[in-house]
Amino acid sequence: MRGSYGPANPRDRAVCMTNCPTLIVTVGLPARGKTYISKKLTRYLNWIGVPTKVFNVGQYRRECVKIYKSFEFFRPDNEEGLKIRRQCATTALNDVREYLSVEGGQVAVFDATNTTRERRATIMKFAEQNGFKVFFVESVCEDPDVIAENIVQVKLDSPDYIHTDTEEAVEDFMKRIKCYESSYQPLDENLDKELSYIKVIDVGRRYLVNRVLDHIQSRIVYYLMNIHITPRSIYLSRHGESDLNIKGRIGGDSGLSDRGREYAMKLRKYIQEQNIKELKVWTSQMKRTIQTAESLGVPYEQWKALNEIDAGMCEEMMYEEIQKNFPVEFALRDQDKYRYRYPKGESYEDLVQRLEPVIMELERQENVLVICHQAVMRCLLAYFLDKTADELPYLQCPLHTVLKLTPVAYGCKVESIYLGVDSVNTHRNRPENVMAQRSTEDALQTVPAHF
């Protein structure tokens, strides 16, 4: 008899899980965006379901050397400094091993300069010993404006410089960069031709991609090639209040209520006042988002991928009816709202997969207003604000409120703008009792009021 009969729980295809974990290794002088790329990539991978973690060697160094004095620490002839830095890298790699081999991590991002071939050889040996695939991400940039902006955005507020005035901090950091320059050995077309890597040149003007080995590396390359750092804002909003919202019913394809139409007019006014440069407007293919966009009086694009989560057999039901007709389903959903799939419908997990091309295109674009739905908006918001799968289904995305997201430093600034039009509340919190045998009262404890 043949051995395996298929896995006991055949893995749902979310992302092709490579058999061995991947170690992403950044390479580049200071202020080349390595940490920015590391954090952003990690956020993306976690969102699409690939457990990923950043290991920033600078942070290990700060834990070891409590107070940063000056660039002298980084001088290539500072034996004491070199010793500490080597030790920090080793400690970080040990944590990487723990994360990938023991804790179930799939990708680790080793965020450091890694500017010498010697250091990279050490890392590769470590990876080989542990059965990790290595993928290098090098950032090369000589544009002084980009580097200056980088320093302003993320270095001045770093723990290293928090007590230093701006001019001194910049001067010291420039000297810090200089400490690395003489020994910097960029990934080389010939010497490193057996390695798997992407070289990002001048913040994405140009890329060199070498030996992409598998699916996850291919996705990483695609992602890195679509992101940019041009300042812009993303506006997230739900459709205006709908007729089914008022009745406390989920899903469906109803039109706007009077108040929903009022919101659409207020949204139009808000957008006009904001005077946004070349705003793109996206909607789903459901009537209520399109009606909302119609009020704006500007062109918009419909995306089927932005449609609300399909509640399958529970479409157009009230929560009370779901409890009555499918009490076990209702309880299962409260037990694991992210992974729960409606019968003949979708889960939040499915939604994320469906929304990935939307996120990819949002990364490519500049100013965009996305008019969508509660569950969809929660997924998009979770991506931008780095929320976990547990938090995602409970994010607050009330009607008649615009969320303005603006990338800043390593993250995203959120402004919540309530446009002053009343609506029902559609947010149902997780009740205390999630057991299937719970009483109807317990099950409906957190259902929001409706007409």
Q: What are the start-end ranges of the E strands in 163-233? A: 197-201, 206-210
Q: Among the options 118, 149, 181, 239, which is catalytic?
A: 239
**Nearest residue (CB) to a second copy, 20 versus 154:** 20
Q: What does the block give as tokens for 228?
A: 């940019």
Query: Residue 63: CB partners within 8 Å, gap ≥ 6?
Result: none
176 marked as part of a ligand binding site: no
Residue 118 in tokens: 């010697």
- Asked if residue 239 belongs to a known ligand binding site, the reply is yes
Closer CB to a second copy, residue 104 or residue 297? Answer: 297
Q: Is 239 a catalytic residue?
A: yes
Closest approach of a second copy to the CB of residue 2, in Å: 4
The answer to whether the CB of 57 falls within 8 A of the CB of 88 is yes
Q: Is 240 annotated as a binding residue?
A: yes
Q: Which two tokens stand for residue 366?
A: 């500049």
Q: State yes or no: 245 annotated in a binding site.
A: yes
- Options 308, 329, 346, 356, the catalytic residue: 308
Residue 67, burial from CB neighbour count under 10 angstroms (0-12, 13-18, 19+): exposed
Structure tokens that stand for 239 in this block: 């459709």
| Minimum separation from the CB atom of position 161 to a second copy (A) | 35
Angle subtended by helix axes 57-64 and 79-97, to nearest 10: 120
> Which residues make beta-bridge pairs with 53?
108
Indicate the residue among 7 and 104 with the shorter CB distance to a second copy: 7
Integer Cα distance of 429 and 178 in angstroms: 53
Tell me whether residue 400 is one of the annotated catalytic residues.
no
Query: Which residues of this protein are in contact with a second copy, per CB under 8 A?
Result: 2, 4-7, 10-13, 16, 193, 205-212, 214-215, 218, 221-222, 225-226, 255, 261, 264, 282, 285-287, 290-291, 294-295, 297-305, 315, 344, 350, 353, 361, 364
CB of 47: closest distance to a second copy in angstroms?
16
User: In the bound complex, what is the minimum distance in angstroms from residue 291's beta carbon to a second copy?
Assistant: 6
Which strand (E) or helix (H) includes residue 27? Answer: strand 22-27
Residue number with CB closer to a second copy (171 or 189): 189
Residue type, 45: L
Q: What is the CA radius of gyration of the chain?
A: 25
Please tell me whether 310 is known to bind a ligand.
Answer: no
Q: Is 411 annotated as a binding residue?
A: no
The phi and psi torsions of 334 (rounded to 5 degrees) equal -70, -25
Instruction: Please indicate if the annotation marks 120 as binding a ligand.
Output: no
Residue 100 gets which letter from DSSP? I
Nearer to a second copy, 33 or 251 (CB): 251
Find the shortest distance in angstroms from Cβ 353 to a second copy.
7
Q: How far is the CB of 432 from a second copy (least distance, A)?
A: 32
Contact (Cβ atoms closer than 8 angstroms) between residue 359 and residue 40: no
3 state SS of 53: strand
Nearer to a second copy, 31 or 203 (CB): 203
Is 58 one of the annotated binding-site residues? no
Exposure of 380 in the CB half-sphere (CA atoms within 13 A): 33
With b for 16 or more beta-carbon neighbours within 10 A and e for fewer, the 137-174 pattern comes to bbbbbeeeebbeebbebbbbebebbeebeeeebbebbe
- Residue tagged 């994010």 (tokens): 395
Residues belonging to the binding site for substrate are: 238-245, 288
Catalytic residues: 239, 308
Known binding-site residue numbers: 238-245, 288
